[in-house]
Amino acid sequence: MKQQTYVLLAIFFIIVISVISVLNVDPVGVNVLVWQGESPLIFIILFSVLLGSLVTVIFGVGKYVSLHREKKQLQQRVTYLEKALKRQTELASQSESSAEEDTAEE
């Protein structure tokens, strides 16, 4: 259900951006650093949306990689602690059985 919500929201935003873009076809002046020119507003809007989406994806991938790395480290830690716990329980059961044998011999 969560994926369907994301898809529906994406379709909704695409429709809204498309309607806004189609209604704004007038040429506007664009100043980027040392370059100046004119471009239809529809291209400026679509380029801005594309650039914003690209930046969001880049940061999302970085966060995903970071979380994946952390998950891997935590899984290794859990494995180590499980092995340590198993050794401790084996040692405890061995010492209990040794203690019982010692008391039985006396």
What is the C-alpha separation between 55 and 60, in angstroms, rounded? Answer: 8
Q: Does residue 95 surpass a pLDDT of 80?
A: no
Task: Show Cβ contacts of residue 36 under 8 Å, excluding neighbours closer than 6 positions.
Answer: 29, 30
What value does the mean pLDDT of the chain take? 85
Residue type, 58: I
pTM here is: 0.53
Q: Does residue 3 surpass a pLDDT of 60?
A: yes
